[in-house]
Amino acid sequence: AKKNSKGSYEIYNDQYGMSIERRFQMLSELKLSIYNKELVCYYQPQYDYDKKAVVGFESLARWNSKKFGMVPPLQFIELAEETGFIKQLGRFMINQAFAFAKSISDPGICVSFNASPIELMQADFTDYVIERFCYYELEPESVAIEITESCLIESFDDVVKKLKILTDCGISIYLDDFGTGFSSLSYLKELPIHAVKIDKSFIDNIVSDRVRRDIVDMIIRLAHRLNLKVIAEGVETKEQAQCISECGCNLIQGYYISKPVPGEEAIAFLDELKTG
């Protein structure tokens, strides 16, 4: 408990220092966010720096609450995870991402969505994803799931089994935030994944920090040797993009290319690149 500005005590119980009361209010708003059309899906391009072409989009949830304003995703995702609302939120995002993937006429573009460990643990997760994949009549390799290493702690074999079912259906798997977790490089070859996403924290000081650059260079080489694609996340400058490219990684995602944007803007971005 912590004394607040009004001199009374509030109980804090998460990293954002939200009081129980605020969390409760936020949760009741969050539960209505889909119905109230406050929850929307943004898309951030994934870009081939050598070919100068968009190869994919990552779907990212945005909550513009009437009551709380723009709420940071990490904040409402955590709230959703702790309260079970993540299932509905996740399903909403899957439908948005799949409909968006369907609306893109260009072949070879893959739309990814994030799945939290809690979603992956649900018994009906794979059935749902596959049912939706069929419903939207999507091409193989046109959608991907981004999972984090924390998904693997609970039951490695069980998760691998689920991922295999998804890949058998033509859905790609990306390992997100790579390098930040418990990162045993040795399990990489056991996983049915198509790409690793190098976390932004590795990209941040890649230009100035020689040791960082060597680590990133090594990760990229290893991943490529295991036949995995590598996407560098959080690339903000031309210098970072060039540095990453010199390390052998041509796939980048970050503000240098584009911030996450609404669907129509993402499509416009795609069309603009094509017409030059």
**What are the residues binding ligand C2E (CB under 6 A)?**
44, 60-61, 73-74, 77, 93, 114-116, 146, 176-177, 234-236, 253-255, 260
With CB atoms as reference, the residue minimizing the distance to ligand C2E is 254
- For residue 19, the 8-state DSSP code is B
* Smallest gap from residue 203 Cβ to Ca ion (A): 11
DSSP string of 230-274, one letter each residue = EEEE---SHHHHHHHHHTT--EEESTTT---EEHHHHHHHHHHHH
Cα–Cα dist 247/8, whole Å? 55
* 73 Cβ neighbours under 8 A, 6+ residues apart: 60, 61, 62, 63
* Smallest gap from residue 275 Cβ to Ca ion (A): 29
* Smallest gap from residue 235 Cβ to ligand C2E (A): 6
Run of H or E including 195: strand 195-198
With CB under 5 to 8 Å by kind, the binding choice for 236 among Ca ion, ligand C2E, none is ligand C2E
With CB under 5 to 8 Å by kind, the binding choice for 60 among Ca ion, ligand C2E, none is ligand C2E
Which C-beta is closer to ligand C2E: that of 10 or that of 102? 102
- Judge residue 259's burial from the number of C-beta atoms within 10 Å of its C-beta, 0-12 exposed, 13-18 middle, 19 or more buried: exposed
With CB under 5 to 8 Å by kind, the binding choice for 223 among ligand C2E, Ca ion, none is none
Q: Tokens 């059309």 belong to which residue?
A: 37
Which C-beta is closer to Ca ion: that of 138 or that of 147? 147
Is residue 114 involved in binding Ca ion (CB under 5 A)?
A: yes
Site string (141-180) toward Ca ion, x via CB under 5 A: -----x-----------------------------xx---
Encoded tokens for 54: 């968009």
Cα–Cα dist 16/46, whole Å? 30
Is residue 46 involved in binding Ca ion (CB under 5 A)?
A: no
